[in-house]
């Protein structure tokens, strides 16, 4: 029996998808419905479902971050209202990318595609764009090389230099260079600084990763971004899992399998 997990922070949309799947694929067993990205990541790791139907914009972790952190056999289908993440979704080897509102006709094509991908032993179906999704096709045309997106000017994008973190009536102005690492925590992101302070901000990890200087800040886990300026060293345990050590810190930060290749030279 094929098993699945659904993740969507809007309960009525999660229920609607569940009902669609029950009609179109009665043999599919939905093991859990997650309300946010952190819960989805935890339950995928614990339950190891065959499939995960992930929304993209969710509290804690985005669907893309959840997918990047999957270390087991779970395959992913994105179900979202946002067409601009299509290229990233396909790069994460998603089986399909379905735009909301979801119809039975469109979801039937997804079910057929997924069943084909899961049926051959070791078979992997390449992500494809469905001809019926005109909005998605238009988005991909804009995003892919040779599309109609505005030409790059050659200027480097402005990088995030300051963060504003509120605590009651007080607003802290935090210099990005003083941040040791960021870690997603449910609806917030925790900011850990060199001064030993911890701040909470609402900016998702995915947005931070896009705004920070990639030469200085590296994502090492679906929920963690590290300031490489403070990297003191690495350690592997008896199971070959990789951990980072930061200067002045006793705790170690785990590196997920998807990011281990960044530290092969260490």
Residue 139: CATH number of its domain: 3.40.50.2300
**For residue range 51-102, what is the model confidence (pLDDT) as tens digits?**
999 998 898 888 888 988 888 889 999 998 877 766 676 666 788 888 888 8
120 lies in the same domain as 251: no
49 lies in the same domain as 133: yes
185 lies in the same domain as 104: no
Token couple for 20: 């669609």
10 lies in the same domain as 105: yes
Q: Is residue 215 part of a domain?
A: yes
pLDDT averaged over 10-residue windows placed end to end, the chain, 266 residues: 95 94 96 95 95 92 88 90 70 82 90 86 47 49 44 57 80 90 87 92 86 91 93 89 91 88 74
pTM beyond 0.85: no
Q: Is residue 155 part of a domain?
A: no
Calculate the CA 58 to chain-centre distance.
Answer: 9
**For residue range 91-125, what is the model confidence (pLDDT) as tens digits?**
667 888 888 888 889 999 999 999 988 875 544 44
Query: Taking the CB of residue 86, how many other CB atoms lie within 10 A of it?
Result: 26
- Give me the number of domains the chain comprises: 2
114 lies in the same domain as 53: yes
Look-up of token digits 């494809």 = 128
Q: What is the pLDDT of residue 266?
A: 60
195 lies in the same domain as 253: yes
**What's the CA gap between 27 and 49, in Å, rounded?**
14
Decide: 184 and 204 in contact? Cβ < 8 Å. yes
Q: What is the pLDDT of residue 203?
A: 86
71 lies in the same domain as 130: yes
126 lies in the same domain as 215: no
Q: Is residue 154 part of a domain?
A: no
215 lies in the same domain as 256: yes
Token couple for 28: 């599919």
Count the residues in the chain.
Answer: 266
Which range marks the domain in which residue 87 is found?
A: 3-143
Token couple for 258: 């998807």
Residue 184: CATH number of its domain: 2.40.50.1020
107 lies in the same domain as 220: no
Q: What is the pLDDT of residue 55?
A: 94
58 lies in the same domain as 138: yes
Q: What is the pLDDT of residue 121?
A: 54
119 lies in the same domain as 186: no
Token couple for 157: 């994008």
Q: Is residue 149 part of a domain?
A: no
DSSP the chain: --EEEEE-SSHHHHHHHHHHHHHH-TT-EEEEEESSHHHHHHHHHHH--SEEEE-SS-SSS-HHHHHHH--SS-EEEEEES-GGGHHHHHHTT-SEEEESSPPHHHHHHHHHHHHHHHSSTT--PPP---TT-HHHHHHHHHHSTTSSSPPP-SPPPPPP-EEEEEETTEEEEEEGGGEEEEEEETTEEEEEETTS-EEEE---HHHHHHHS-TTTEEEEETTEEEEGGGEEEEEE-TT--EEEEETT-SSEEEE-GGGGGGGTT-
Q: Is residue 150 part of a domain?
A: no
> Where is the domain boundary, 143, 178, 207?
143
């Amino acid at each position: 029996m094929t098993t699945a997990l659904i993740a969507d922070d809007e309960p009525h949309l999660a229920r609607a998808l569940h009902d669609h799947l029950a009609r179109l694929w009665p043999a599919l067993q939905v093991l859990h419905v997650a309300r946010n990205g952190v819960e989805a990541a935890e339950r995928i790791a614990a339950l190891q479902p065959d499939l995960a139907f992930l929304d993209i914009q969710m509290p804690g972790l985005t669907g893309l971050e959840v997918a990047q952190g999957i270390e087991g056999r779970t395959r992913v289908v994105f179900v979202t209202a946002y067409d601009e993440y299509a290229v990233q979704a396909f790069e994460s080897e998603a089986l399909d990318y379905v735009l909301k509102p979801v119809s039975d006709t469109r979801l039937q094509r997804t079910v057929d595609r997924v069943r084909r991908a899961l049926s051959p032993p070791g078979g992997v179906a390449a992500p494809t764009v469905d001809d019926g999704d005109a909005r998605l096709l238009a988005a991909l045309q804009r995003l892919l090389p040779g599309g109609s997106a505005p030409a790059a000017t050659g200027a480097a994008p402005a990088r995030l230099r300051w963060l504003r973190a509120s605590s009651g009536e007080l607003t802290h102005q935090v210099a990005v260079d003083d941040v040791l690492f960021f870690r997603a925590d449910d609806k917030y992101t925790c900011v850990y600084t060199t001064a030993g302070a911890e701040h909470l901000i609402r900016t998702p990890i995915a947005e931070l990763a896009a705004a920070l200087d990639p030469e200085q800040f590296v994502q090492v886990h679906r929920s963690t971004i590290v300031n490489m300026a403070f990297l003191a060293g690495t350690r592997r345990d008896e199971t070959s899992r990789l951990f980072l050590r930061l200067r002045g810190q006793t705790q170690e930060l785990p590196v997920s399998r998807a990011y281990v290749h960044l530290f092969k030279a260490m």
